[in-house]
Amino acid sequence: MLGLVQPSLVRCAEMVAKLRSLAQIVAGVQEIAVTEIIGDASVMVNDITHDSHKSGSGAIFCCVVGETTDGHNFVNDAINNGASAVLTQRRLAIDIPQVVVTDVRHAMGYFAAELFGRPSSKIKIVGVTGTNGKTTTAHLLAAILRQHGWDTAVFGTLSGTRTTPESTDLQRALSQEVDRGTKAVVMEVSSHALVLCRVVGTKFAATVFTNLGQDHLDFHHTIENYFVAKSQLFTEQYSEIAIVNRDDVYGKKLISALKSKNEISVQEFGITDASEIEADVSRVSFAWRGEKIHLATGGHFNLMNALAAANAAVKLGVATSDISTGLAAADAISGRFESVVAGQKFGVVVDYAHTPEALENVLHSARKVVSKLSQVIVVFGCGGGRDHNKRAIMGRVASELADVVVITTDNPRFEDAAEIASEIESGIDSSRQKKIYVILDRRSAIAQAFASAISGDIVVIAGKGHESTQTIGATEIEFNDSVVSRELLKVAS
């Protein structure tokens, strides 16, 4: 029986260690002004959440005002579930202590960081942002840091439902990594996360800018707003060191702005840093700072992701030999220029490319590894409920760079899949006289691409990458491009 009881005692000990009074938390949050404290601030708290369903005993419930919902409307639910205090933007008629602030969404990151012991001050955290390449760069950097001897965690697209968690969840997760003895965390930081204050309360040892292209304009409305959102990460509030891609138009713009302010250190990187470059569908190699670098991931564009990771590692004090060994040890990443091999005589690559720039990069990389007589065949769609403007652009990119274009569904969600396909098709350059198919069933679309391929060709299946489901209306069906490809290739053989 003792063996069964002991783990729960450990958990209780951890909870008690983090139990602090509301007054102590408020006193520790120096970054913002508290309008007033109502009620007994000596109440003890040990958790913080923006979800009324998770507001158990000892929790501070944060009344976040969103686009469609207002957390203040759920405060009684939180209290009924045991909440001990409330972070609010106005006085509420409730019987538990409340802390009034101007902006709950902004404040709760600082409150969460303080409650959980300022975890980002206890481990090295690197933030990676950009339109494309965040996931690959983060995983490559983590492999380098592990080779350096640091137990390293990765937060991002492959590890959670959101690229970047809400601030309360993020600070809790970082605290758990501290408790585990983790030495570093590499995390993807989305533009949504920056606008919605999800990384408020986090201090980064370094931040990385990969690139910026057209995406999320349904949220940001303009590319300039999108850039401003990304730029927030490269300020004294968050970062000490910026690693920035000088080959990107917006990277150059960011470098110029950072150097004029002279607030944080800037490390530039670009394609000319590398030499002896070789790339195919399953590997990339190049020379850098006297080291020969080998990646187990194909695609010429992944060279830039490797350079981003390598330069971040240098600024963190990692030796170039560890960088080389770490990059070589990095596993291929699911859905990132993932080569699918099932005995077929043509190449198949699955990639997450779902922006015009990403699709262009993937197709350029595919073109580089086939002969002039071979075809590049692309299968892709665009997600519903997202930026409409990029659809025609992606159609144009596909028709310019591929020999055969198969337009299909991505995650149509609540949009008409045929209308999405029509918007994509409207951008296709008809003068190029390419083979164009519109096949809304994604499995059938992939099958058509394979039927069009002969020995030496390469089929690029873009847009969904690692995703294991397809969202059609309110329904999610099982669908993974790599799995489906292997099934179809097996049947064909």
| Residue 66 Cα to chain centre, angstroms | 22
Measured between alpha carbons, how far is 98 from 38 in angstroms, rounded to an integer?
Answer: 5
Mean pLDDT score, 83-110: 97
Tally of domains within the chain: 3
pLDDT digits (tens, 9 = 90+) for 167-215: 999 999 999 999 999 999 999 999 999 999 999 999 999 999 999 986 6
Cα–Cα distance between 427 and 425 in angstroms, integer? 5
Instruction: Flag whether the pTM goes above 0.85.
Output: yes
Specify the pLDDT at position 491. 87
CATH number of the domain encompassing residue 422: 3.90.190.20
Q: And the tokens for 464?
A: 């969904």
- Tokens 């399953």 correspond to 282
The answer to whether residue 3 scores a pLDDT higher than 50 is no
User: Do 99 and 161 belong to one domain?
Assistant: no
121 pLDDT exceeds 80?
Answer: yes
On the 0-12 / 13-18 / 19+ scale of CB atoms within 10 A, 65 is middle
Do 193 and 179 share a structural domain?
yes
Half-sphere exposure at residue 385, Cβ-oriented, CA atoms within 13 angstroms: 8
Does residue 149 share a domain with residue 100?
no
SS3 state of residue 354: coil
**Per-residue pLDDT at 337:** 94
In the predicted structure, residue 11 carries a pLDDT above the cut 50: no
Look at residue 1 and tell me if it is in a domain.
no
Instruction: State the Cα–Cα distance between residues 285 and 296, nearest whole angstrom.
Output: 9
Q: What is the DSSP string of 399-424?
A: HHH-SEEEE--S--BTS-HHHHHHHH
319, 356: one domain: no
Strands (E), 67-178: 85-88, 98-100, 124-129, 152-155
284, 344: one domain: no
- At 347, the pLDDT band (50, 70, 90 cuts) reads very high
- Within 73-123, strands assigned E span 85-88, 98-100
CA atoms within 13 A on the CB side of 166: 16
- Shared-domain flag, residues 444 and 368: yes
Per-residue pLDDT of 218-234, as tens digits, reads 666 798 899 999 999 99
Residue 342 has pLDDT above 80, yes or no: yes
Three-state secondary-structure class, residue 99: strand
C-alpha to C-alpha distance for 359 and 57, rounded to whole angstroms:
49
Would you say residue 283 lies in a domain?
A: yes
Q: What percent of the chain has pLDDT over 90?
A: 86
Q: What number is the average pLDDT over the span 153-164?
A: 86
Among the residues of 262-373, which ranges form H helices?
302-315, 320-329, 356-368
What average pLDDT does the segment 43-54 reach? 96
- Asked if the model's pLDDT at residue 4 lies above 80, the reply is no
Mean pLDDT of the chain: 93
203 and 144 in a common domain: yes
From residue 165, alpha-carbon distances to 157, 259, 337 in Å are 10, 30, 26
- Residue 8 forms part of a structural domain: no
Of 329, 351, 374, which residue sits at a domain end? Answer: 329
Structure-token pair, residue 181: 């003895």
- Is there a domain that residue 7 lies in? no
What pLDDT sits at residue 218? Answer: 67
What pLDDT, on the 0 to 100 scale, is given for residue 213?
Answer: 83
DSSP 42: T
Domain annotation covers residue 185: yes
Distance, C-alpha 300 to centroid of its chain: 21
Q: What is the pLDDT of residues 294-313, one digit of tens each?
A: 999 999 899 999 999 999 99
Q: Tell whether 227 is covered by a domain.
A: yes
Spatial distance between the Cα atoms of 390 and 385, rounded to a whole number of angstroms: 12
Quote the domain boundaries for residue 77.
15-115
Of 329, 352, 371, which marks where a domain is finished?
329
10 belongs to a structural domain:
no
Strands 98-100 and 85-88: parallel
Residues 300 and 350 placed together within one structural domain of the fold? no
Shared domain check, 369 and 430: yes
Residues of the chain with pLDDT > 70, as a percent, come to 95
Residues 299 and 429 in one domain: no
> Which of these, 228, 314, 305, lies nearest to 270 by C-alpha position?
305
Residue 17 pLDDT level (bands cut at 50, 70, 90): very low
Residue 10 pLDDT grade (very low, low, confident, very high; cuts 50, 70, 90): very low
> Per-residue pLDDT averaged across 374-381, rounded?
97
User: pLDDT tens, 461-476?
Assistant: 999 999 999 999 999 9
User: Is pLDDT at 367 greater than 90 in this prediction?
Assistant: yes
Segment holding 249, helix H or strand E? helix 249-261
Q: Can you read off the two tokens belonging to residue 125?
A: 């955290």
Distance CA 391, CA 422 (A): 9
Which of 279, 301, 329 delimits the end of a domain?
A: 329
Residue 205 within any structural domain of the chain: yes
User: The dihedral of CA 434, 404, 212, 318: what is its sign?
Assistant: negative
